[in-house]
Structure 1
Amino acid sequence: MGLLEMSSDGIVQNGLLQGNRLLIVPLLLICIWIASSYLRLRCIPGPFFASLTNLPRLLWVRNGDAHDTHIALHRKYGHLVRFGPNMISVSDPAEIQNIYSFNGKFPKSDFYRALSFYVKGKAIPGLFATQDENIHRLLKRPIAGMYSMTSLVSYEPMVDSTIKTFFKQLDTRFVNTGRACNLHDWLQMFAFDVIGEITFSKRLGFLEQGRDIDGIMENSWRYFSTASLIAQMPWLDYVWVKNPILQRLRTAKINPIVAFARARRVEREKEVASGLVDIEDNTDTKSRDFLTRFMEVESKDPATPAWAVNAWATSNITAGSDTTAILLRTVFYNLVKHPLSLAALRQELDSQGADLFGENDNDIVPWKRAITLPYLDACIKEAGRMHPPFGLPYERVVPAGGAVISGRHIPAGTVVGISAWVVHRDYEVFGKDSDVWRPERWIEAGEEERKRMEASLLTFGAGHRSCIGKHISYLEIYKLVPTLVGAYDIDFADGIGRDWKVDNKWFTKQSGLNVRLKKRTVKSG
């Protein structure tokens, strides 16, 4: 028995030894990988743990203050800060043209894969999220002309129609009742309905119903809140969201925005088949909207993929609603918070008299008049500077051979990116008061200084991958802001207002944009 027991102990000990060896090997490999990863970019300053893992930057996003953290880190460490084992954040405005050049030599990183829409386990390519430059060219080339400012002016009557509906609801629900208005949500509902009108000749119905239709707004919020987290550690995307096993186990749900776009296309195809809509007729409203123009491209270009129309229409809604709403909220929040700015804008509007509305007879400021107003232009530029819609770095990958960025050679394969929030606070470009709202900086600046500030703006990105729909946003903003400011007296509902905050914690939202509206007794024209 003793020999047997000793033999058994020996077997157990040998088994444990072999098991320990099996553990030691992968642990050793992990340590080697961490050490080599750390050493590769050891010359770039930043938080120590960020040089070992991407977890810190995921937590910055999770805490809802990543943009503030990014600004603070750059002010501590300089133009180059290591945000992860293989990620460098850049704050040097001079590098915008280098990293986001029109030749696209710095491709998009895996950050964008997490932002792609998936339906039943399959990705829906989009202009913003696709990493494949061939797909991007395929999607952009046939429709780029539709987004020029010259072309978009034809959509102005559709924007006017939605503004009328918006004001009717404000009058009925808030002005006539004296109730406080959550302008935060109503501006997003306006943005959704405008993009629905110009894309499908059909609003999504937010304004008329005064609510989030089919949970589209909430779904959009949750989607991007989750995606922004996963994008900090892209490998999580395969484990959490796009895991093929989990995809099969989950109940298949189509994103409501994708569903709305698909339903409108089915309707339009029936209208074309029945002769109610003629793709060749440029006088009919529905023949001028984006959907019909997309379908026209599809019918004339055999190279157009079957999924392209849905991708274009979906991108219009997702990219054209949230970005516009964020900028509108920023403008109105800061105008109400800073009464001197609001008074200055009203003085500019009132000084125009009847000329403000040009040939319009509907008290809606036309685009061609709005863009001539210096203080309005300054307020909108300042809003884009203070609160750009995209709160994280626009990530790119250093190409083969490496690149010199801010005087340092960065090896190929390194992820680099510039955050609009960071570069828009640059003291050298925007002044020591760049943390505060001051539209006057755009008026006081000399020609060269103003050009430098404008070249440093990343409100809608830069280079050949900048937002194709930025002119849509500007068309809405330059028309709505002066029209609403001229028509209503606006003040915080509590009389003093509070900080405007959107809190990512547990995907909840807070708004400091609760206001009371009154018809102006003295108005332009």
Structure 2
Amino acid sequence: MALHRRYGDVVRLGPNRISIGTPLAIPAIYGTGANLPKGDFYRVLQPLAHGRVVQGLFNTQDERLHRALKRPIAGIYSMTNLVSFEPYVDTTIRVFLERMETQQAAQKTVDLGAWLQFFAFDVMGEITFSRRFGFLETASDVDGIIGDIYRFFSYGSAVGQMPLLDRLWAKNPLVNWILPSKNSSVVAFAVARANEREAVNKKLAAAEAGVDGEDGEDGEDGKYADDREEGTYNSRDFMSRFLETRQKDPSLPAWFLTAWTTSNVQAGSDTTAILLRAIVHFLLTHPASLAKLHQELASACFRGDIVTWKESRELRYLDACIKEAGRLHSPVGLAMERVVSAPQGVDVCGGTHLPQGTVVGLNPWVVHRDRRIFGADADEWNPDRWLRPKDEQRAAMERSLLTFGAGHRTCLGKNISYLEIYKLIPTLFSRYDITFETPDEWKLVNHWLVFQQGLNVRINIREDREKSQLTEVQ
């Protein structure tokens, strides 16, 4: 941010690496007609499983592979379709509230930052596998998944600036033969759940055909087949739909199932948790905004304890707060790199020519603070900027948001994040009065120095909600 304020819209960071600081360049770099492939930074973010690289929707550089992965399942991620997952999000919200209240009663305070991350991961488990990971129930990092993802992205953020190091070490077959690398815990979990579900389906198919399946075929003496028969897992979860997609088109490779499920967990959970924490933090540190939100929530007529997606879409100030938090504290803190592939290069920012082979990207933290687009107070929290009439200025701000990327590589799971966020935030602040245990604000630090910064708060059920109970959603 400081470099762009000093040198302007185009900053050279390396021999062939350019950072662009104006959202006006978004169409030229990320637009559907730009056709700029992802840089080697994303190769570093491809995890290993049994010594083999696992590519996914987010991290693949191969545009043909990305199309092959995305085309069969894109429809599943439409907001119209995702609303069908709302009851399963409600189930996880209910567990989140109950477990957090239990900890508050025992310890007087809660680390809301940790609980929001537990929630984000367990929602993905619920809607993808019909099985929460267990973060909320145990109030802990199950199988070290959160820690593994943190270390994975910490490694990628540094080594991604020098991708050759990744080829020489983590992705070097000789090194992996001498020192076998640890398998990704997220990939391992996804593969295990896929194997379980496929075993269940085979057993059910055999039963319908009048053929007895062998005990233990599913790995746990028929446990998951029994679960299916008792209706204890959602037959319309992501895993079920992914399996149906492969059944309809047997030409799809088996490893696509791993890529789809891993992408859901790895790319979806952590970014949602970051944005949830940012929204809460900004509201708690800006009492005037929190008061406005409380006023809006108090005047709304919610049909139950958990705010529905439809109800949340009527809350204009909530929408403004979520947009503003995504603008000021984007989950992505590095440039989303692309490579100029056309022999003639590409022109950006009013005539700056980038030759073929140039690595170029826009950093959301820079772009979202462009004063020409967002106003003189672009560095400041101001949700009211999103309440202005839907004029050209408002449209320009909307076009300039890179919270979930842009173009045809926009995050496919952004609607999942929105479903969680637009339901949880109003539910949280309509039910509780939340105050900091200490008044200290967040500080931006080098992540190598701090593993996790807590969001320690006290929660108290609001007086107007004391008599309400968490009721089961049928």
Between the aligned partners of 1:441 and 1:453, the Cα distance in structure 2 is 9
8 Å contact kept, 1:350–1:523: no
Residue 268 of structure 1 aligns with which residue? 197
Between the aligned partners of 1:345 and 1:523, the Cα distance in structure 2 is 16
Pairs within 5 Å for 1:91-170: 91-170=21-100
Q: Structure 1, residues 254-305: CA drift from partner, whole Å, max 9, x if none?
A: 2111111111112111221222779xx9x99522100011111111112211
SS in 2 for 1:505: coil
8 Å contact kept, 1:277–1:286: no
Which amino acid letter does the alignment assign opposite residue 40 of structure 2?
A: D
Residue 516 (1) aligns with residue 462 (2): no
After superposition, the Cα gap between the structure-2 partners of 1:205 and 1:307, relative to the gap in structure 1 and judged at 3 Å, is same
Pairs within 5 Å for 1:301-340: 301-340=249-288
Q: Structure 1, residues 116-152: CA drift from partner, whole Å, max 9, x if none?
A: 1112331111011100011101100000000000010
After superposition, the Cα gap between the structure-2 partners of 1:277 and 1:297, relative to the gap in structure 1 and judged at 3 Å, is farther
8 Å contact kept, 1:365–1:482: yes
Q: 2:416 aligns with which of 452, 472, 497?
A: 472
Residue-pair matches, total: 444
8 Å contact kept, 1:427–1:433: yes
8 Å contact kept, 1:501–1:510: no
Instruction: Tell me the TM-score normalized by structure 1.
Output: 0.82
Between the aligned partners of 1:208 and 1:500, the Cα distance in structure 2 is 30
Which amino acid letter does the alignment assign opposite residue 302 of structure 2?
A: L
Deviation of 1:253 (Å): 2.3
8 Å contact kept, 2:170–2:181: no
Residue 64 of structure 1 aligns with which residue? none
SS in 2 for 1:356: coil
Which amino acid letter does the alignment assign opposite residue 279 of structure 2?
A: V
8 Å contact kept, 2:28–2:34: no
Residue 228 of structure 1 aligns with which residue? 157
8 Å contact kept, 1:502–1:510: no
Deviation of 1:445 (Å): 5.1
Q: Which runs of 4+ in 1 moved over 3 A?
A: 500-503
Deviation of 1:371 (Å): 1.1
Q: Structure 1, residues 199-240: CA drift from partner, whole Å, max 9, x if none?
A: 000000000000000111111101100111111011111122
Q: 2:297 aligns with which of 345, 349, 356?
A: 349
After superposition, the Cα gap between the structure-2 partners of 1:270 and 1:302, relative to the gap in structure 1 and judged at 3 Å, is closer
After superposition, the Cα gap between the structure-2 partners of 1:409 and 1:381, relative to the gap in structure 1 and judged at 3 Å, is same
8 Å contact kept, 1:225–1:507: no
8 Å contact kept, 1:500–1:510: no
Which amino acid letter does the alignment assign opposite residue 295 of structure 1?
A: L
Which amino acid letter does the alignment assign opposite residue 492 of structure 1?
A: F
8 Å contact kept, 1:148–1:471: yes
8 Å contact kept, 1:115–1:129: yes
Which amino acid letter does the alignment assign opposite residue 384 of structure 1?
A: G
Between the aligned partners of 1:209 and 1:284, the Cα distance in structure 2 is 20
Q: Which has the larger radius of gyration?
A: 1
**Percent identity (aligned):** 53
Unaligned runs of 5+ in 2: 205-223, 469-474
Q: 1:217 aligns with which of 146, 151, 157?
A: 146
Residue 381 (1) aligns with residue 323 (2): yes
Residue 196 of structure 1 aligns with which residue? 125
8 Å contact kept, 1:104–1:464: no
Residue 84 of structure 1 aligns with which residue? 14
SS in 1 for 2:337: strand
Between the aligned partners of 1:98 and 1:180, the Cα distance in structure 2 is 48
Instruction: Tell me the TM-score normalized by structure 2.
Output: 0.90
After superposition, the Cα gap between the structure-2 partners of 1:419 and 1:445, relative to the gap in structure 1 and judged at 3 Å, is farther
Between the aligned partners of 1:234 and 1:167, the Cα distance in structure 2 is 42
Q: 1:255 aligns with which of 180, 184, 206?
A: 184
SS in 2 for 1:522: helix
Which amino acid letter does the alignment assign opposite residue 44 of structure 2?
A: A
Deviation of 1:345 (Å): 0.3
Q: 1:366 aligns with which of 294, 305, 308?
A: 308
Unaligned runs of 5+ in 1: 1-70
8 Å contact kept, 1:503–1:509: no
Residue 416 (1) aligns with residue 416 (2): no
Q: Structure 1, residues 147-181: CA drift from partner, whole Å, max 9, x if none?
A: 0000100000000000000000011111x235221
Residue 393 of structure 1 aligns with which residue? 335
Which amino acid letter does the alignment assign opposite residue 281 of structure 2?
A: Y
Between the aligned partners of 1:229 and 1:416, the Cα distance in structure 2 is 17
SS in 1 for 2:133: coil
Q: 1:493 aligns with which of 420, 437, 452?
A: 437
Which amino acid letter does the alignment assign opposite residue 490 of structure 1?
A: I
Residue 345 of structure 2 aligns with which residue? 402
Between the aligned partners of 1:178 and 1:121, the Cα distance in structure 2 is 43
Pairs within 5 Å for 1:41-56: none
After superposition, the Cα gap between the structure-2 partners of 1:153 and 1:285, relative to the gap in structure 1 and judged at 3 Å, is farther
8 Å contact kept, 1:178–1:516: no
Root-mean-square deviation (CA, aligned residues, Å) is: 1.9
Which amino acid letter does the alignment assign opposite residue 133 of structure 1?
A: E
Between the aligned partners of 2:92 and 2:147, the Cα distance in structure 1 is 22
SS in 1 for 2:260: helix
Identify which range, 473-482 or 442-451, moves more after superposition.
442-451
Residue 38 of structure 1 aligns with which residue? none
Between the aligned partners of 2:39 and 2:125, the Cα distance in structure 1 is 31
